[in-house]
Amino acid sequence: MARSPHSNEDPAVRLLKVGERVRHVLSEILLRGQVHDDVLTAHSVSVTEVRMSPDLRQARAYVKPLLGCDEDKVLKALRQNTAFFQREVAQRLGLKFAPKLQFATDVSFDEAERIERLLSDPKVARDLDEA
């Protein structure tokens, strides 16, 4: 099957680019306090990553409140305002289809901290020194 003449980039690269654009839009909305929700305006929320489905119709946004406090409340508030976020993303990006947003807590920081604790354990440090 021949490729479309309109796009000569790898589909995986397109997914990453669109995901990054969605991340920027969501971050900007949260930073400027454009969503009318008391919980979201009271917290500083980082959008760390957005993963797009291959058809660009689904987007999973990974978020982390500053200092990790009130994660459940912030996640609930984001989910309650999903329609607003989807509408804003569709308007600002001009995509053919507005991606359906899903919000999830980013656990990569917790995982990195766990690995750091393991590596700083004296027994592990001793083994690493021997290698």
- Contact (CB, 8 A) for 60 and 50: yes
pLDDT-based confidence at 7, cuts 50/70/90?
Answer: low
Phi first, then psi: what are they for 119, rounded to 5°? Answer: -70, -25
Q: Is the pLDDT of residue 80 over 90?
A: yes
List residues bridging with 49 in a β-sheet.
62
- Contact (CB, 8 A) for 46 and 64: yes
The C-alpha angle 26, 101, 43, rounded to 5 degrees, equals 45
Q: Which fold has domain 11-106?
A: GMP Synthetase; Chain A, domain 3 (3.30.300)
89 in helix, strand or coil? helix
pTM value is 0.77
Query: Residue 98 burial (CB < 10 Å; 0-12/13-18/19+)?
Result: middle
* Distance of alpha carbon 98 from alpha carbon 88, whole angstroms: 9
Q: Is the pLDDT of residue 20 over 80?
A: yes
Quick one: average pLDDT of 42-71? Answer: 90
pLDDT at 2: 46
* Distance of alpha carbon 99 from alpha carbon 58, whole angstroms: 5
Please give the share of the chain, as a percent, with pLDDT higher than 70: 88
> Is the pLDDT higher at 93 or at 111?
93
Q: Where are the domains of the chain?
A: 11-106
Q: Is the pLDDT of residue 116 over 90?
A: no
Give residue for tokens 């987007």: 59
